[in-house]
Structure 1
C-alpha cells in the first residue's frame, strides 16, 4: 500500500464497491427516497399554486373567493405537514442509516487489518492506518445518507420542472435548460481537481498522525536527548504541508462555487430578459413569468445544494477510496479451503527443505533447512545477528509462509490446518513485551479469555509475578498504563510469562526473552522460563549464551544455514563457531563485571 499515492480511481468504480453496504438497509433507503419524493412534490406545487391564483386574480378576479384561497392554503398546509414528517424521517433515520454503514465499514476494515501479515505492518505506518479507520470514515455517514437523496431529488426536480415549464412555453424552457449542460461541464472540471486535492489532504493528515504517534511514543527518548525542538520542527513541517494541501483544495472549491454562482446570475437574468421580451410579444403572461422565476429559484436552490454537497461528496469518495485501498491488500496467510483444526499436539516440529525470503527481496533468509525437534525437547538457537533465528521461529506459527519446502507439527503440514488452531497451540515470550492498556488482571487473562481468578493467580505465581502484583496499589486491578509504562521491564516480562502459563501451550518460543533485563531480573525470569518450558517443546533464541547451557540441543545458525548442532559440552569440545561465540560472550561479561 503506497501511502503517498494520489492517483484516484474512477467514481463509478468506487460507488460500485460501496453499494453492497446499502444491501442491509435497502428498505430504509427506499423509504428515505420515497420521503424525498414527497418533499420534492411539495416544493414543485408552490409555483403552480402561485401561477393559478395570480392568473385568476388578473383575468377573473370575481372567481377568486375567500373560500377558494383558504382551500388552496389548506391543501398546501397539508402538503407541508407531509413534508415535515418526510423530512424528519430523512434527517433522523436517514442519518442513522449512514452511521450504521460507517460502522459496518469500520468493522470490516478492522477485521481485515487483523488478518494482514507481518510484512504489511512492516511497510505501513500505524498513524496512516489510524487515519483510515477513524477520520477517513467520518464523512461516509453524510455521504451514505445524502448522496442517494441529493442525486435523486435534483434530477427529479429538473425533469419535472422541465415538463411543467414546457407546457407553459417551450422556447423559454429550452433557453433556460441549455445553460445547465454548460454549468455541469465547468463544474466537472473543478470536481476532478477537488478530488485529487482532498486525497492529498487525507494522505498528509495520515502522515501527521504517524509523526505525532512516533514522537509521543518516543517521548522519553526525545526528552533524554533534549530534542524537543527537533520534534517540533518535524511537526511544523508536516503541519504546514497539510495547510498547503488544504489551501490547494479550497482554491479549487472556491473556483467551483464561484463558477456556479456566475451561472446562477446568468440563469436569473436570462429568465428576466427573455421572459420580458416574450411577455411584450404576448407569448407568455405575467403569471407564467412569475411561475418561471419561482421554478428557476427552486432549480438554482437544487443546484446550490448539489454544489454544497459536492465537497462532502468528494470527501466521501476519498474516504471510500482509501478504505478500498486497504481492503484490497492481499491477505498473505490464509487457511486452505479444507483446513482442519490442529488437535492433541505432542509438539514434534519438522523443517523439511524449508526456505524463505521476504516478498520485497529474492535473496533467501533461510535456505533448505532440514531439522527435526522432538516433542518436549528444549532447543536453543544461537548465531550472529541477521542469520534468521527469529524468522525461523516466526515460520512455525505462520506469521510468514515458507517459500519452499514445508513445516510439520506431529507430521502434519501446518498449511493444512487453520491458523487459529495452530497459533492456539504455540506460546511466545518475546524481548519486546507488549501490555495492553488496562489492568494487570486483563493482561494476564489475555492468554485465556474467560479464565477464572484462581487460574490467573496460579499463572502469576508460576511466573514469579504474584508477589510484586500483590504489592501494587490495587493488586491485580492496577492499571498498567499505555504499553505497561507504569511497570518495570522485569515486571512486564513476568506478566507476559504468566500470560503464556495461563495459555498452557504444548509448543513454546522464547525470543531473547531476558536480553533486555538486568542480572537480577534475568535470574528471576530465567527461573520462571525454566518452569514454563518443562514438558513443552521449546525453542529459545539466546542472546546471553550462558542462559542456554542446559538446552538439550543447541543449533548454531548462520547465513549459510545450520552450521553446528549438539549439546553445550559437545559444541564446546569441537572448538568451532559456537565455542568462539561462547568464549567471546563470557569474556565480555567478565569485562563488564569488572
Structure 2
C-alpha cells in the first residue's frame, strides 16, 4: 500500500497540520525543561541553601506543567478535527463513488458488505487517522529531544540506554504483521455480520424467517458468526502482547542499569557523576519510557490500519462501468423520441447476448409495449433507455442524442421509471414523493397524487402526506405503493415514462386501479411498457415481441393477432390463465 496515497488525504489540511506540528514540538521541548530544573535544584539550590533560586526554579516547574498541558489540549483539538475531516472525506468519497457504480456491481455485491466498508472499515480507522499521526510526530519529537538532552547530561549513560533499540524495532514489526493479518479476517467477519443483520432483520427478512420457521436457525447462525468475530477481536488484542510486555519490562528496568553504570563510573574521580545529573538523567529516561512504548504501539496500529486503507482503496479504485460523459450533450428540446439502432447487450461473465440487434423507434408521445416469455430480455431492454447499462454495440438515443453522451442529470430528467417492485424510504409520504423533486410544492404533490389516483387515500390517513410509510412502504398495500411510485415519477414530469411490469404482482381489482393511474400518467408522454398481462397493452401504438433477445414480431394488437404467431400464443395463454384463476 503506497503511503504517499495516505499522506495525500491529509494534504488539504496542511495549515492545520503545521499548527499541530508546532504545538507538538513546543509541548515536547517544554516537557524537557523539568529535568534540568531538577538538576539545578539538586546540585545548586538545595546544597547552597539559595531559597530565592529555589523559589524561581519551583515556579518554573509549575509554569512548564501549565504550558505543557495547554499545548496538549490544543494539539488534541486540532489533530482530532483534522482526523475527523479526513474520515469525512473518505466516507463521502466512497459513498459518491458507489453511487456511480453500475447496477451490475450491486447485483453481485451484498449490501451488508458495502455498509461494512463505509461504517466498520472507516470507523475502525478513527484512532489511526485522528491520533496516530499526531502521536507519531509527538513521540518522535520527544524521543529525539530526550535522547539529545540525555547525551548532553552524559553520553555514556545514553549509550547504555539505547542498546536495546534494535530489539524494540524487531518486536514492533513482528507484532504489526500479525495484527495486519488478523485485521483482514476481522473486517471480513464484520462484513458478514452486517450482511446477516441487513438481510434477516429487515421487514422482508423477519417475515420470511417467521413464516418459514427459521427464526431459531437464523439466531443460531448469527450467534456462530458473532462468536467467530469475538475470537478474532481477542486474537487482535492479544497479538504480540507478550512481546510488548517484555519490551515494557526492559524499558522499565533501564533505571537500574543506569544506577549500575553510574556506580561503576563513580569508582574513578574523573568519571564521577553528580547526584543531580543522575536524578535528571533517570527523570529523562522515565520521560522516554512512555513515548518509546507509544511509538512501538503506534507502529503496530499503523501497520494494522494499512489493511483497512487497502479495503477502502479497493472500493475507491473500482472502475466506473457506466461513466459520466466528459463533454455531455443535451437535446435542444426534450420531446421524448426514443430510438435503438442495432442495440446489443450481454451481462458481464455470461458470454451470451441478452439482446441482439434491437431496432425500434418510439415517436414522441407514442406508446410502445414490450412482451415476451420470461428471460426474453424485456427488462434488460428497458434498462438501456435510462442507461442503467451501456450497450455493447449499437446505440440508444433520446431526441437524436446518444444516451452515452447525455449527463446523468439530463437523462434522469428525460426518463422516469416505475419498477415492478416499488421501493419507498422509511419516511413520510411527502418526503418519498419529493425524492423525485426536492423543491416541489404541496400543490405539486397533490397534483401528482391525483394523476396517480392516490390522493384521496393519502388524504384520508390521520397524518395525510406526513404519514410515515414504514420500511419499504409496508404500511401500504401493493397497489397503493405502485400508485405512490407513479406519483413520484409524474412529479418529476419526464417526457419518457418506462413501466417495468408495474401491475404484474397485483390482483385484478387493484390492477385496474393502478392501470387507470398509469393511463393518466402516460397522457402526453412517450410510454414504454413491459407487459406481463397483455390485457394492459391492447391500446399501445406498437407492440414488439421479444424471444431470445431478438424482436420476432411487431405491430398493433390487431395486426399481431391477425398474424397468428407468437403474440397470439401469448394472448391465448393469458386468457387460459385468467379463466383458471376465475374458476378457482
Task: Name the TM tier (shorter chain).
Answer: over 0.9
Tell me the SS of whatever aligns to 2:396. strand
Residue in 2 that maps onto 1:465: 454
Is the CA contact 2:423–2:473 (under 8 Å) kept in the aligned structure 1? yes
4+ residue stretches of structure 1 with deviation over 6 A?
none
CA shift, 1:259, in A, is 3.6
Measured in 2, the distance between the counterparts of 1:581 and 1:212 equals: 42
Residue in 2 that maps onto 1:552: 541
Is the CA contact 1:342–1:418 (under 8 Å) kept in the aligned structure 2? no
Tell me the SS of whatever aligns to 1:368. strand
Is the CA contact 2:338–2:397 (under 8 Å) kept in the aligned structure 1? yes
Residue in 1 that maps onto 2:485: 496
Q: Does 1:239 align with 2:217?
A: no
Choose which of 115, 119, 141 in structure 2 pairs with 1:130: 115
Report the CA distance shift for 1:357/1:412 in structure 2 as closer, same or farther (over 3 A).
Answer: same
Q: Does 1:580 align with 2:565?
A: no
CA shift, 1:509, in A, is 0.5
Tell me the SS of whatever aligns to 1:280. coil
Residue in 2 that maps onto 1:434: 423
Tell me the SS of whatever aligns to 1:134. helix
Residue by residue over 1:335-394, the C-alpha shift from the partner in whole angstroms, topping out at 9 and shown as x without a partner, is: 222112345122222211111112333322112222222222211111122221111111
Is the CA contact 2:377–2:549 (under 8 Å) kept in the aligned structure 1? no
CA shift, 1:317, in A, is 3.8
Residue in 2 that maps onto 1:101: 86
Structure-2-length-normalised TM-score: 0.94
Is the CA contact 2:132–2:302 (under 8 Å) kept in the aligned structure 1? yes
CA shift, 1:78, in A, is 2.0
Report the CA distance shift for 1:518/1:310 in structure 2 as closer, same or farther (over 3 A).
Answer: farther
Alignment coverage as a number of residue pairs: 579
Measured in 2, the distance between the counterparts of 1:146 and 1:279 equals: 43
Tell me the SS of whatever aligns to 1:424. helix
Residue in 2 that maps onto 1:449: 438
In angstroms, what is the RMSD of aligned CA positions? Answer: 2.0
Measured in 2, the distance between the counterparts of 1:72 and 1:519 equals: 94
Tell me the SS of whatever aligns to 2:427. coil
Report the CA distance shift for 1:342/1:84 in structure 2 as closer, same or farther (over 3 A).
Answer: farther
Is the CA contact 2:175–2:300 (under 8 Å) kept in the aligned structure 1? no
Residue in 1 that maps onto 2:519: 530
CA shift, 1:446, in A, is 2.0
CA shift, 1:312, in A, is 4.9
Q: Does 1:79 align with 2:67?
A: no
State how 1:329-408 maps to structure 2 within 5 Å. Answer: 329-408=318-397
Tell me the SS of whatever aligns to 2:32. helix
Report the CA distance shift for 1:284/1:559 in structure 2 as closer, same or farther (over 3 A).
Answer: farther
Is the CA contact 1:139–1:312 (under 8 Å) kept in the aligned structure 2? no
Q: Does 1:31 align with 2:19?
A: yes
Is the CA contact 1:109–1:133 (under 8 Å) kept in the aligned structure 2? yes
Is the CA contact 2:420–2:504 (under 8 Å) kept in the aligned structure 1? yes
State how 1:169-248 maps to structure 2 within 5 Å. Answer: 169-217=154-202, 218-248=205-235
Q: Which runs of 5+ in 1 are unaligned?
A: 1-9
User: Which stretch shows the higher mean deviation, 514-523 or 572-581?
Assistant: 572-581
Is the CA contact 1:346–1:375 (under 8 Å) kept in the aligned structure 2? yes
Report the CA distance shift for 1:281/1:138 in structure 2 as closer, same or farther (over 3 A).
Answer: farther
Residue in 2 that maps onto 1:423: 412
Is the CA contact 2:329–2:401 (under 8 Å) kept in the aligned structure 1? no
Tell me the SS of whatever aligns to 1:535. coil
Residue in 1 that maps onto 2:251: 264
Residue in 1 that maps onto 2:97: 112
Measured in 2, the distance between the counterparts of 1:519 and 1:449 equals: 34
Q: Does 1:277 align with 2:277?
A: no
Choose which of 29, 33, 38 in structure 2 pairs with 1:50: 38
Residue in 1 that maps onto 2:106: 121
Report the CA distance shift for 1:263/1:365 in structure 2 as closer, same or farther (over 3 A).
Answer: farther
Residue by residue over 1:297-331, the C-alpha shift from the partner in whole angstroms, topping out at 9 and shown as x without a partner, is: 11111122234545654564444332222211112
Is the CA contact 1:462–1:528 (under 8 Å) kept in the aligned structure 2? yes
User: Which stretch shows the higher mean deviation, 160-169 or 350-359?
Assistant: 160-169
Is the CA contact 1:158–1:299 (under 8 Å) kept in the aligned structure 2? yes
CA shift, 1:278, in A, is 2.3
Report the CA distance shift for 1:450/1:376 in structure 2 as closer, same or farther (over 3 A).
Answer: same
Is the CA contact 1:136–1:319 (under 8 Å) kept in the aligned structure 2? yes
Report the CA distance shift for 1:412/1:76 in structure 2 as closer, same or farther (over 3 A).
Answer: same
Residue in 1 that maps onto 2:238: 251
Is the CA contact 2:331–2:399 (under 8 Å) kept in the aligned structure 1? no
Is the CA contact 1:350–1:370 (under 8 Å) kept in the aligned structure 2? yes
Is the CA contact 1:187–1:259 (under 8 Å) kept in the aligned structure 2? no
Choose which of 471, 484, 488 in structure 2 pairs with 1:482: 471
Choose which of 12, 36, 52 in structure 2 pairs with 1:67: 52
Is the CA contact 2:353–2:549 (under 8 Å) kept in the aligned structure 1? no
CA shift, 1:30, in A, is 1.3
